[in-house]
Every structure is written in C-alpha cells, then in structure tokens.
C-alpha cells in the first residue's frame, strides 16, 4: 500500500498539469457558448478523445492509481474548466463504471469500447436508474425486465428520467426490476445495445445549470435485449436473488449496512467535481477583489470581503481533504464506518453552493451577468446537492451509519 502523504507524486503532478492545461485552453473558453446552446459539446469531446482524456484507458489509469487520488484530481481539474462540458466528457465514464462494477470480462470488453467510440467518431453512454416516481427512493422503481426463456431475451418496459446522455447514447445501461417482491435487492442492470428498437428519447430537459450536459427521459417499450446483455450473467443474478429471498424470509437487511460500499466509493468523485467548480469561482472572486476599486482602494482591503475569501478557501480545502480521505479509503479497501464517502460529497457539494454564491456577491453587478463566469458556476453548483444522492439522503446515510438506527 502507498505510504500516506498529501503530496502528489511527480506522475500525478504531470497528469494534473496536463488536465489543467486542457481545462484552461479548451474547456473554459468554450464554456459560455455551450451553456447558451444547451447542447452536447461534441467538438470538445472529440478534442478530449484526440488527446486521450476521453477514453477508458485514461479513466482506468486514474481509477487504479494506488493512492486513490487519480480520479478526484482529474475530476477537480476538468470541472474547474466547466461543469457542463466536463460532465459531457466524464458522463460516459459513469456508465462505464456500472459495467466495470457488475459486468463479466466479456461484457466489459464488448461494450465499453462502444460507449466511447473513437476520436474520429466519438460516442457517449448513459446510465439510466432514476424514474419519475423513483428518485431518492430507488426501491420504488417500476421499469420491469422479464425473461423470455424461449428466446433467451430480456424484455424491458418503463420510463427512465434524468438520464445524462439519455437517448443520444450509443450504449444505455438500464437498471430494472426483475423481482418486485425484493425491493432494491430485486434490481438488475442491462446493456441496451446501439439502435435497439423500442428505446427512444422522451423529454429533453431545459436546465438551471450544467446546460452543456444533455439530460433526458428514456422510454423503453418492449425493448428486447439478448440474454448476454444482463450485467454479470443469469447464473450470478439467480444466486443473488436466492440469497435476497432467504434474507427477506429471516427478517430482512439490517440498518448497519446503510453506507453501501459502492456508493461510498463513487461519491467522492462527485465531491471532487464540486471542489473544481468551487475553486474556479473562488479564483475569479479573489482576482476581482484585488483589482476592483471602490472608495479609493481595492475591495479586498475591506475585512468584509477578505474574510469571505478566507472562509471560501478554507471550506474548499476542507472539502478536498474529505474527498481525498474517502478516495484513499476506497482504494486502500478501508471500511466506511462513518459513511466517509457520503460525508465528502455532502460537504463538498454544499461548499460549492455557498462559495459560488459568495463569488457572485463579491463581483457585485458583474457577478449577476453572463459577462463573468461566476454566474454560470453558481447555476452549475446547484446540481451537486441533487444528483448521486441529495444532501438530505447523504445526511440520512451518515446518520444511519453512525447510529445504527433506522432514521427517517
Ligand atoms: C442534471 C441531472 C442529471 C442526472 N443524471 C442522472 C443519470 O445520469 N442517471 C440517473 O439514473 N439519474 C440521474 N439524475 C437523477 C438524480 O440522481 C435524482 O434527481 C436524485 O436522486 C433526486 O431524485 P428526485 O429528483 O426524484 O428527487 P426526490 O427524491 O423527489 O427528492 C425531492 C426532495 O425531497 C428530499 N427527500 C427525499 N426523500 C427524503 C428523505 N427520506 N428524507 C429527507 N429528505 C428527502 C430530497 O433530498 C429532495 O430535496 C440526474 C439528475 C439531474 C438533475
């Protein structure tokens, strides 16, 4: 195991600087245009593919960095550039992780390359779990997957919502109910291959922030996928369902499992995105406060402004430390006994909201216009307390983990 240190090693610094360069030179200059267009920034994704940032290889390299800091560092830099564009670049990775976590080697090898395409013909992927009546309450999911044994096919029916890249993806990963009696234990994930009949895009949402990232409903009407599209395979599913039925008979799952390891491991990545947005807004505000003069002196000469900036930076650094701790714990296989992953996502996302609001205030009238990026960053920051589990759900997970009680 890597010795504990908060200092990035030379390789990590090199990757960080390379990503920062891409964020500063390619992402940031395009941010305002794609925010206004509210469309997927295909040319920027293509640029990222050309230099190797939009690829499974890049993602895997960061993921397997033994210190655990590869992913948070990459997320912070890309989202420092712009949250909407960065989500368009990393959204496919979130779907790919669903396959990496649950798929067989054959499934990983078959589907992940099709999620990315190549630099001349880039593709994106979508992870579809949320539904109109199943957001925080994942167990109330209704999309059904029924096995047609005669044809060795699964038939999917239902409506997914809020899917990043939904409807425009080459490959969709869809979570569906295979046994309604078992709540969330009766769910399974399926690959829907490119151009499968019955899958269509529903409403595309016009959003408050991260507008360069495509978010839409995905409608599934008698979507037939081959048996081998069930992630992990049928045998593994049958074993898992049998175990869940046994547990259900003997009184069900216990609350002490509230901090589910997979979510605890993935939530710090979202925390790191929030740190990137917060840092970006703080830097603009610091610069502005040093150059804007009122009453004959720079506004930062007033403690009222300087102390705000001191608090902003302190909170950003604290958020990063929580994110790094949780990421290190995940890579070192440490148990999340205090839901440290949820803690990092909760604190970093709330920090991004506060810090971007303060940045708008420090820029005064200019902060309220689209001439300066903090207005967009403030709108973008609002997503972090909502997706990948809202702040309220993070608090529930933390409180249940700490207390062992079924807190509601
Ligand atoms: C831009 C965007 C992109 C997204 N991308 C994806 C994606 O790619 N794939 C995907 O599957 N999903 C995605 N989501 C969905 C996202 O994960 C959900 O929006 C989120 O889980 C919240 O669900 P909801 O919107 O239904 O809110 P609800 O669950 O209806 O919550 C509404 C409010 O009630 C609160 N609340 C709910 N239950 C409790 C409780 N028990 N205690 C206290 N408060 C509670 C919530 O915190 C929230 O404030 C995305 C969402 C957005 C907005």
pLDDT tens across 269-313, in order? 999 999 999 999 999 999 999 999 999 999 999 999 999 999 999
- The per-residue pLDDT for range 381-398, each reduced to its tens digit, is 999 999 999 999 999 999
Give the count of domains, the chain: 3
Global pTM reads: 0.97
Best residue for ligand 1 mutational test, from 161, 387, 391 (most atoms within 8 Å of Cβ): 387
Kindly report the CATH number assigned to the domain that includes residue 303.
1.20.140.10
- The per-residue pLDDT for range 46-59, each reduced to its tens digit, is 999 999 999 989 98
- Specify the residue for token string 């759900």: 393
The verdict on the CB of residue 129 being under 6 Å from ligand 1 is: yes
Q: Is residue 263 assigned to a domain? A: yes
Based on the fold, state whether residues 303 and 394 are members of the same structural domain. Answer: yes
Kindly report the CATH number assigned to the domain that includes residue 115.
1.10.540.10
3-state secondary structure 67-128: CCCHHHHHHHHHHHHCHHHHHHHHHHHHHHHHHHHHCCHHHHHHHHHHHHEECCEECCEEEE
Q: What is the extent of the structural domain holding 212? A: 125-252
Kindly report the CATH number assigned to the domain that includes residue 186.
2.40.110.10
Best residue for ligand 1 mutational test, from 258, 390, 398 (most atoms within 8 Å of Cβ): 390
pLDDT-based confidence at residue 6 (cuts at 50, 70, 90): confident
Contact predicate 341/259, CB 8 Å: yes
Based on the fold, state whether residues 220 and 168 are members of the same structural domain. Answer: yes
Based on the fold, state whether residues 208 and 138 are members of the same structural domain. Answer: yes
The verdict on the CB of residue 393 being under 6 Å from ligand 1 is: yes
Helix, strand, or coil (residue 11): helix
């Amino acid at each position: 195991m890597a010795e504990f240190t908060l200092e990035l090693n030379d390789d990590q610094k090199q990757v960080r600087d390379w990503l920062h360069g891409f964020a500063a030179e390619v992402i940031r200059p395009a941010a305002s245009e794609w925010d206004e267009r509210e469309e997927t920034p295909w040319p920027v994704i293509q640029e990222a593919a050309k230099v190797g940032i939009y690829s499974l290889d890049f993602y895997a390299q960061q993921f397997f960095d033994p210190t655990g800091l590869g992913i948070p560092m990459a997320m912070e830099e890309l989202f420092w550039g712009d949250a909407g564009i960065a989500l368009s670049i990393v959204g496919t990775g979130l779907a790919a992780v669903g396959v990496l976590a649950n798929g067989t080697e054959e499934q990983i090898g078959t589907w992940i390359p099709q999620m990315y395409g190549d630099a001349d013909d880039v593709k994106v992927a979508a992870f579809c779990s949320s539904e109109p009546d199943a957001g925080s309450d994942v167990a109330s999911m209704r999309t059904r997957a029924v096995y047609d044994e005669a044809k060795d096919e699964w038939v999917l029916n239902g409506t997914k919502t809020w899917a990043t890249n939904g409807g425009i993806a080459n490959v969709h990963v869809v979570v569906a109910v295979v046994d309604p009696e078992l709540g969330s234990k009766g769910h399974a994930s399926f690959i829907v291959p490119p151009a499968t009949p019955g899958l269509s895009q529903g409403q595309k949402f016009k959003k408050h922030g991260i507008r360069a990232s495509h978010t839409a409903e995905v409608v599934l009407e008698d979507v037939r996928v081959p048996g081998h599209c069930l992630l992990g395979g049928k045998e593994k599913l049958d074993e898992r369902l049998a175990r869940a039925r046994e547990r259900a008979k003997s009184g069900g799952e216990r609350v002490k499992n509230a901090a589910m390891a997979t979510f605890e491991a993935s939530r710090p990545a979202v925390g790191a995105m929030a740190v990137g947005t917060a840092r970006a807004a703080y830097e603009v505000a610091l610069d502005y406060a040093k150059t804007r003069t009122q009453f004959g002196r720079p506004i930062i000469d007033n403690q009222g402004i300087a102390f705000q900036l001191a608090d902003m930076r302190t909170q950003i650094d604290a958020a990063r430390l929580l994110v790094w701790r949780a990421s290190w714990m995940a890579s070192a296989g440490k148990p999340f006994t205090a839901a440290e992953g949820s803690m990092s996502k909760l604190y970093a996302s709330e920090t991004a909201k506060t810090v971007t609001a303060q940045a708008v205030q420090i820029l005064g009238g200019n902060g309220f216009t689209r001439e300066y990026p903090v207005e967009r960053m403030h709108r973008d920051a609002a997503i972090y307390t909502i997706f990948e589990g809202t702040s309220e759900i993070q608090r529930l997970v933390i409180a249940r983990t700490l207390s062992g009680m079924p807190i509601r």
